[in-house]
Amino acid sequence: MFVVTFAVTFAASLAIVGALLVRLPATYFLDRHERALWIDRHPLVRWSGIIVKNGLGVALIMVGGLLSLPGIPGQGLLTILLGVMLLDYPGKRRLERRLIGMPRVLERVNRLRARFGKPPLILAEANSEAAEAGPGD
Protein backbone atom coordinates (compact mmCIF):
# COMPACT_ATOMS: atom_id res chain seq x y z
CA MET A 1 0.00 0.00 0.00
CA PHE A 2 2.88 2.37 0.80
CA VAL A 3 4.40 1.90 -2.66
CA VAL A 4 1.09 2.74 -4.35
CA THR A 5 0.64 5.85 -2.20
CA PHE A 6 4.25 6.81 -2.93
CA ALA A 7 3.74 6.48 -6.70
CA VAL A 8 0.38 8.29 -6.76
CA THR A 9 1.63 11.17 -4.59
CA PHE A 10 4.74 11.58 -6.69
CA ALA A 11 2.87 11.50 -10.02
CA ALA A 12 0.09 13.82 -8.84
CA SER A 13 2.45 16.41 -7.38
CA LEU A 14 4.59 16.45 -10.53
CA ALA A 15 1.57 16.78 -12.81
CA ILE A 16 -0.14 19.56 -10.84
CA VAL A 17 2.98 21.59 -10.10
CA GLY A 18 4.24 21.14 -13.65
CA ALA A 19 0.95 22.21 -15.23
CA LEU A 20 0.74 25.35 -13.10
CA LEU A 21 4.35 26.38 -13.69
CA VAL A 22 4.01 25.89 -17.44
CA ARG A 23 0.86 28.05 -17.51
CA LEU A 24 2.49 31.02 -15.73
CA PRO A 25 3.11 34.01 -17.99
CA ALA A 26 6.84 34.52 -18.58
CA THR A 27 6.49 38.04 -17.13
CA TYR A 28 4.78 36.91 -13.90
CA PHE A 29 7.71 37.97 -11.69
CA LEU A 30 8.08 41.46 -13.19
CA ASP A 31 6.63 44.52 -11.41
CA ARG A 32 4.56 45.44 -14.45
CA HIS A 33 2.61 42.14 -14.36
CA GLU A 34 -1.04 42.82 -13.45
CA ARG A 35 -2.04 41.17 -10.16
CA ALA A 36 -5.71 42.07 -9.63
CA LEU A 37 -7.93 38.98 -9.50
CA TRP A 38 -11.35 39.50 -11.10
CA ILE A 39 -11.21 43.26 -10.59
CA ASP A 40 -14.13 43.71 -13.00
CA ARG A 41 -16.41 41.18 -11.22
CA HIS A 42 -19.09 41.71 -8.61
CA PRO A 43 -17.50 42.21 -5.14
CA LEU A 44 -19.05 38.99 -3.79
CA VAL A 45 -17.58 36.95 -6.66
CA ARG A 46 -14.24 38.73 -6.36
CA TRP A 47 -13.94 38.14 -2.60
CA SER A 48 -15.07 34.53 -2.94
CA GLY A 49 -12.33 33.99 -5.52
CA ILE A 50 -9.73 35.63 -3.28
CA ILE A 51 -10.74 33.44 -0.32
CA VAL A 52 -10.61 30.24 -2.40
CA LYS A 53 -7.26 31.27 -3.92
CA ASN A 54 -5.74 31.93 -0.49
CA GLY A 55 -7.16 28.67 0.91
CA LEU A 56 -5.59 26.76 -1.97
CA GLY A 57 -2.31 28.57 -1.33
CA VAL A 58 -2.26 27.51 2.33
CA ALA A 59 -3.07 23.91 1.32
CA LEU A 60 -0.24 23.86 -1.24
CA ILE A 61 2.26 25.20 1.31
CA MET A 62 1.26 22.49 3.78
CA VAL A 63 1.50 19.75 1.12
CA GLY A 64 4.84 21.20 -0.05
CA GLY A 65 6.17 21.10 3.50
CA LEU A 66 5.14 17.47 3.74
CA LEU A 67 6.71 16.67 0.36
CA SER A 68 9.96 18.30 1.50
CA LEU A 69 10.42 15.73 4.25
CA PRO A 70 12.94 12.94 3.59
CA GLY A 71 11.41 9.78 2.23
CA ILE A 72 8.28 11.43 0.82
CA PRO A 73 8.24 11.78 -2.95
CA GLY A 74 7.32 14.96 -4.77
CA GLN A 75 8.40 18.45 -5.62
CA GLY A 76 8.22 20.05 -2.17
CA LEU A 77 9.96 23.36 -2.85
CA LEU A 78 8.10 23.94 -6.11
CA THR A 79 4.78 23.14 -4.41
CA ILE A 80 5.59 25.63 -1.64
CA LEU A 81 6.48 28.22 -4.28
CA LEU A 82 3.08 27.77 -5.94
CA GLY A 83 1.33 28.09 -2.60
CA VAL A 84 3.23 31.27 -1.78
CA MET A 85 2.31 32.67 -5.20
CA LEU A 86 -1.39 32.16 -4.49
CA LEU A 87 -1.43 33.88 -1.09
CA ASP A 88 -1.98 37.61 -0.57
CA TYR A 89 0.27 39.17 2.10
CA PRO A 90 2.77 42.02 2.48
CA GLY A 91 6.22 41.19 1.11
CA LYS A 92 4.89 38.50 -1.22
CA ARG A 93 6.68 39.73 -4.33
CA ARG A 94 10.06 39.80 -2.57
CA LEU A 95 9.63 36.25 -1.25
CA GLU A 96 8.45 34.94 -4.64
CA ARG A 97 11.48 36.40 -6.35
CA ARG A 98 13.81 34.99 -3.72
CA LEU A 99 12.37 31.48 -4.09
CA ILE A 100 12.25 31.43 -7.90
CA GLY A 101 15.64 33.16 -8.05
CA MET A 102 17.33 30.15 -6.48
CA PRO A 103 19.46 28.82 -9.36
CA ARG A 104 18.34 25.19 -9.05
CA VAL A 105 14.66 26.13 -8.84
CA LEU A 106 14.78 28.55 -11.78
CA GLU A 107 16.77 26.09 -13.88
CA ARG A 108 14.25 23.30 -13.29
CA VAL A 109 11.24 25.51 -13.88
CA ASN A 110 12.67 26.90 -17.14
CA ARG A 111 13.66 23.42 -18.29
CA LEU A 112 10.09 22.26 -17.72
CA ARG A 113 8.68 25.29 -19.53
CA ALA A 114 11.02 24.69 -22.49
CA ARG A 115 9.83 21.10 -22.74
CA PHE A 116 6.32 22.44 -23.37
CA GLY A 117 7.42 25.19 -25.76
CA LYS A 118 7.03 28.04 -23.25
CA PRO A 119 9.56 30.87 -22.89
CA PRO A 120 11.74 31.01 -19.77
CA LEU A 121 10.58 33.09 -16.83
CA ILE A 122 11.85 36.68 -16.84
CA LEU A 123 12.97 37.86 -13.41
CA ALA A 124 14.20 41.36 -14.30
CA GLU A 125 13.56 43.99 -16.95
CA ALA A 126 16.15 44.07 -19.74
CA ASN A 127 16.77 47.82 -19.21
CA SER A 128 17.53 47.40 -15.51
CA GLU A 129 20.04 44.64 -16.26
CA ALA A 130 21.80 46.83 -18.85
CA ALA A 131 21.93 49.73 -16.39
CA GLU A 132 23.47 47.50 -13.71
CA ALA A 133 26.13 46.23 -16.12
CA GLY A 134 27.30 49.77 -16.78
CA PRO A 135 28.58 51.32 -19.99
CA GLY A 136 31.25 49.46 -21.90
CA ASP A 137 30.72 46.08 -20.21
**Averaged over 69-77, what is the pLDDT?**
74
Residue 38 lies in a domain: yes
Residue 137 resides in a domain? no
Q: Which residues contact 72 (CB under 8 A, 6 or more apart)?
A: 9, 66
Q: How confident is the model at residue 70 (pLDDT cuts 50, 70, 90)?
A: confident
pLDDT band, very low/low/confident/very high, at 74 (cuts 50, 70, 90) = low
**101 within a domain of the structure (yes/no):** yes
Q: How confident is the model at residue 77 (pLDDT cuts 50, 70, 90)?
A: confident
Domain membership flag for residue 68: yes
Largest Cα span, the chain: 62
| Domain count across the chain | 1
Task: Determine, yes or no, domain membership for 134.
Answer: no
Q: How far apart are CA 72 and CA 85, in angstroms?
A: 23
Which residues form the domain of 50?
Answer: 2-124
Instruction: Examine residue 129 and state whether it is found in any structural domain, yes or no.
Output: no
Q: What is the pLDDT of residues 8-38, one digit of tens each?
A: 777 777 787 788 888 888 888 887 767 666 7
* 28-32, 67-71, 89-93, 123-127: the lowest-pLDDT one: 123-127
pLDDT for the residue 58: 93
